Structure 1
């Protein structure tokens, strides 16, 4: 688990971060699997 996973999840859960903000964190703070765990959708590059 990434160091920032819990922080990103908390921000998303309380509404401070949107799905797009979590998407932008992939590769920087979290990985694609963790994105799916937080948002509930598969990570896809645009």
Structure 2
């Protein structure tokens, strides 16, 4: 269903299954980049 982690987390965020603090953790773990965080949330990392 998802091509990569970015698409999966973007979908989860849109469905409100993931929140910004969780996405920040994924950036810390290297799952998504700070730029991808910004694309998902619309806020700077």
Measured against the shorter chain, the TM-score band is 0.7 to 0.9
Residues 1:7 and 2:4 aligned together: no
**What stretches of structure 1 of length at least 5 have no aligned partner?**
none
Q: Which runs of 4+ in 1 moved over 6 A?
A: none
TM-score where L is the length of structure 1:
0.80
The CA RMSD over aligned residues, in Å, is: 1.0
Q: Distance in 1 between matches of 2:31 and 2:8?
A: 9
**What stretches of structure 2 of length at least 5 have no aligned partner?**
none
